[in-house]
Amino acid sequence: MSQALSTDILIVGGGIAGLWLNARLRRLGYATLLVENAALGGGQSLKSQGIIHGGAKYALHGALTGASEAIADMPRRWREAVAGQGELDLSGVRILSEAHYLWSPGSLAGNLTSFFASKAVRGRVDQVKGDQLPPALQHPKFKGKVYRLAELVLDVPSLITRLAELAGDSLLAGHDIKPLLENGELVGLQIDGREIRARRIVLSAGAGNAELLAALGVEQPRQQLRPLHMVLVKGRDLKPLYAHCLGGGPKPRITVTSHPAADGQWVWYLGGDIAEADGVARSEPAQIAAAQKEVQQLLPWVDLSDARWATLRVDRAEPAQSGLVRPDNAFLADHGRLLVGWPTKLALSPDFADRVIAALERDGITPGESATLLPALPRPPLGEPVWEQLLP
């Protein structure tokens, strides 16, 4: 039997984009409902490395790109939120590292010179040595240069948990989603038989957006999926390391983040160039072998004799761009009552929410005019960190 419910804003997808937006809208006084068909954060968000980019990585080729400018304010906004003083109260979210590091193992001076000349990084990068080095690099055999970037790294599981708390009773586990039409016009969604009317519907379902758009008969925007083949390693000798290790090209050869596992050990999560094209083409054993070779070459003093390895194939979902290039900002498109987008990076979720809020303001959608009291609804579960799933 269908129950008629109504809300101001109905959000589909409980990854970082939907959860952050939901929390911001609630704080502004909007009635919201967020529908998730699997587990909160369980799409790309809990598989991300948690780096709150400030754009430095994208300035590696020396040019100040759109990405460098748009993203430059993100570390400040996240820091304030985590300190409980920002646009959201994210106190309790764990900061894994106050900084991300750039690490050049060889003589890459030419590359770095143009990098440091770029406006995006000037004044935000300091060279570190000795006991200021990340713990995993503090070894007499370590050679190379390390620079500290003003980009923090967050523990994404604690972030998703906090945002789920801020969602209060606005979360709904729902699987079968159909358009709710009135005189041929979209006025809400039917979710597992419940009719939910909304003044605006926001699709923030990551890779699920394409299917939802198809179900709603909407052709644009188109989605692109960028496949990655990440590597995880867990071992007793691993110490925390958050760094882009530079190769010769504009992309980091390897990007390492470190995540605390439930058993007290650290898990290194390896992305960057190794996880892209060549890595995607490799089988799982070949990808592990490639990662072992990289780690042994770069960090020969780390004892990996008891280490356990795993790989993870995952797609990044983004708006379609020519040549699978990386989009520069959060992306939002609107079709009347329907808004759809991708943050394109976890770090850009605040930008995604800004864009939705700007669209609501433009259309005169103010908080609290149409909500009904919601009954108790089935709540979606929290997703599990990938390192607990793959290397328990």
Ligand X SMILES: Cc1cc2nc3c(=O)[nH]c(=O)nc-3n(C[C@H](O)[C@H](O)[C@H](O)COP(=O)(O)OP(=O)(O)OC[C@H]3O[C@@H](n4cnc5c(N)ncnc54)[C@H](O)[C@@H]3O)c2cc1C
| Greatest pairwise CA separation for the chain in angstroms | 73
Q: How far is 221 from 240, CA to CA, in rounded Å?
A: 40
Smallest distance from the beta carbon of 360 to ligand X, in angstroms?
19
Residue type, 87: E
CB-count exposure of residue 85 (10 Å: 0-12, 13-18, 19+): exposed
CB of 331 to ligand X, least distance (A): 10
Residue 251 has φ and ψ, to the nearest 5°, of -100, 145
Q: Distance from first CA to last CA of the chain, Å, rounded?
A: 42
| Identity of the residue, 230 or 332, whose beta carbon is nearer to ligand X in the bound complex | 230
Instruction: Give 237 or 324: the residue with its C-beta nearer to ligand X.
Output: 324
Q: With contact defined as beta carbons under 8 Å apart, do 10 and 189 qualify?
A: yes
Nearest to 10 by CA among 208, 211, 172: 172
The nearest distance, CB 56 to ligand X, in angstroms, is: 13
Q: Give least dist CB 174 to ligand X, A.
A: 6
Segment holding 353, helix H or strand E: helix 349-362
173 CB-near residues (< 8 Å, 6+ apart): 35, 36, 37, 377, 378, 379, 380, 381
Minimal distance, residue 265 CB to ligand X, in Å: 20
Instruction: Supply the minimum distance, in Å, between the C-beta of residue 145 and ligand X.
Output: 22
Identity of residue 196 = I
CB atoms within 10 A of CB 1: 4
Indicate the residue among 141 and 275 with the shorter CB distance to ligand X. 275
Pick 38 or 187: Cβ nearer ligand X: 38
Of the pair 44, 118, the CB lying nearest ligand X is at 44
Could you list the residues that contact ligand X (CB under 6 A)?
12-18, 35-38, 42-45, 47-51, 53, 177, 204-206, 208, 212, 228, 230, 271, 314, 316, 342-347
Q: What are phi and psi of 158, to 5 degrees?
A: -70, -30
Whether the Cβ atoms of residue 34 and residue 15 lie closer than 8 Å to each other: no
**Which residue, 176 or 303, has its beta carbon nearer to ligand X?**
176
Q: Give yes or no for a contact between 74 and 267, defined as CB atoms under 8 angstroms apart.
A: no
> And the tokens for 137?
């690099």
For residue 364, the minimal CB distance to ligand X (Å) is 27
Nearer to ligand X by C-beta: 124 or 139? 124
CB of 182 to ligand X, least distance (A): 22
Task: Give the Cα separation of 327 and 126 in Å (integer).
Answer: 28
When the beta carbons of 142 and 166 are compared against ligand X, the nearer one is: 166
